[in-house]
Structure 1
Amino acid sequence: MFNVIMLPVDGSEYGDKAAAVAIDLAKKYSARIAAVHVLEEFSFNSYDSEEDSGDEILAKITEKASEVGVEVTEHLLTADPLRDMKFIVEQTRADLVVIHAHGANNNRFVSFEENNVSDTQIGSVSERLLRTSNVPVLLIK
């Protein structure tokens, strides 16, 4: 049913929940995971520290997946996740995307209540991907 499951990860607890679901689905359907971590084009942190952090996040996913026999291809990219996620899905040749409703960046909510993240909120990257993706998107809350 699925051959490549794309998993955008940011190191947040929400991303960990999505990773667990993606790994379970990949095992069930003998699919591989395309784990994607996007380094923001414009960041106040040094590129080296962002790259090291991204490598650690991806390695964690690969380790969890390999424990149950799931193959992972790691993608560490510099891009704008809001603008480029649909293109990234196409480039990974994913036929399913498993993404968390919101992640580490609490400043990009479609419906933002003052300093509180509620169960009804969805991040802007997830929301745009739901609207524009040509493949199924499984949103994890």
Structure 2
Amino acid sequence: MFKNILLPVDGSERALKAVETGIELAAKLEAKVFAVHVMPPLSTVSFMSELLQHSDCHREVAKTRAQSYLDEVAKRAIALNVPCETEFVFDLRPDVAIVAAAAKHHCDLIVMRSRGSEGLERVLLGSVPHKVMLCCNTPVLICQ
């Protein structure tokens, strides 16, 4: 049925619960998982500041944090003998990056947490999972 499952991860407990669900499903279906973490790109001011200071401080901290989230997914996948690939991407729109990752890896299912944005932003703009469902032809399993 499903052979390639995308697992967007942001480091939250809720996202890790969705990851667990996705990995367990992949183990039962003998599927492969792809974990993706979306980071916002540096603003122009931050980028220029780092460039002038010859410092990759902010960018390296963000990459290290992203890699730790992805390593946790890989560790959980290995525990259940599920093949896993990971990547982080830079995009201001997590929903667009998630849909692109699903297409890139030929995923036939996306398993993700129930909320992406909070408060007023969610009311005005919609949640990340909602946006993914609206603009993606791939089935999306939303986990509480």
TM-score range normalised by the length of the shorter chain: 0.7 to 0.9
Partner of 1:62: 74
Which amino acid in 2 is paired with 1:11?
Answer: G
Partners of 2:86 and 2:101 lie apart in 1 by: 13
After superposition, the Cα gap between the structure-2 partners of 1:102 and 1:50, relative to the gap in structure 1 and judged at 3 Å, is same
Partner of 1:95: 108
CA contact (8 A) 1:15 1:100 kept: yes
Partner of 2:127: 124
| Partner SS, residue 46 of structure 1 | helix
| Partner SS, residue 35 of structure 1 | strand
CA contact (8 A) 2:108 2:139 kept: yes
Partners of 1:6 and 1:17 lie apart in 2 by: 14
Partner of 2:30: 30
Match among 71, 83, 90 for residue 71 of structure 1: 83
| TM-score, with structure 1 as normaliser | 0.83
Q: CA offset at residue 108 of structure 1?
A: 7.0
Partner of 1:48: 60
Partners of 2:31 and 2:136 lie apart in 1 by: 19
Q: Which runs of 5 or more structure 2 residues have no equivalent in the other structure?
A: 47-56
Partners of 1:125 and 1:98 lie apart in 2 by: 12
Which digits, 9 at most, give the CA deviation of each residue in 1:50-106, with x for residues without a partner?
100000000011001101101110011112313333222111211000010125x53
Partners of 1:127 and 1:108 lie apart in 2 by: 15
Partner of 1:134: 137
Q: Which runs of 4+ in 1 moved over 2 A?
A: 42-45, 82-85, 105-112
After superposition, the Cα gap between the structure-2 partners of 1:108 and 1:34, relative to the gap in structure 1 and judged at 3 Å, is farther
CA contact (8 A) 2:96 2:132 kept: no
After superposition, the Cα gap between the structure-2 partners of 1:92 and 1:109, relative to the gap in structure 1 and judged at 3 Å, is farther
| TM-score, with structure 2 as normaliser | 0.82
Partners of 1:69 and 1:82 lie apart in 2 by: 29
Q: Which runs of 5 or more structure 1 residues have no equivalent in the other structure?
A: 113-122
Identity of aligned residues (%): 28
After superposition, the Cα gap between the structure-2 partners of 1:94 and 1:125, relative to the gap in structure 1 and judged at 3 Å, is same
More helix by share: 2
- Give the aligned CA root-mean-square deviation in angstroms: 2.2
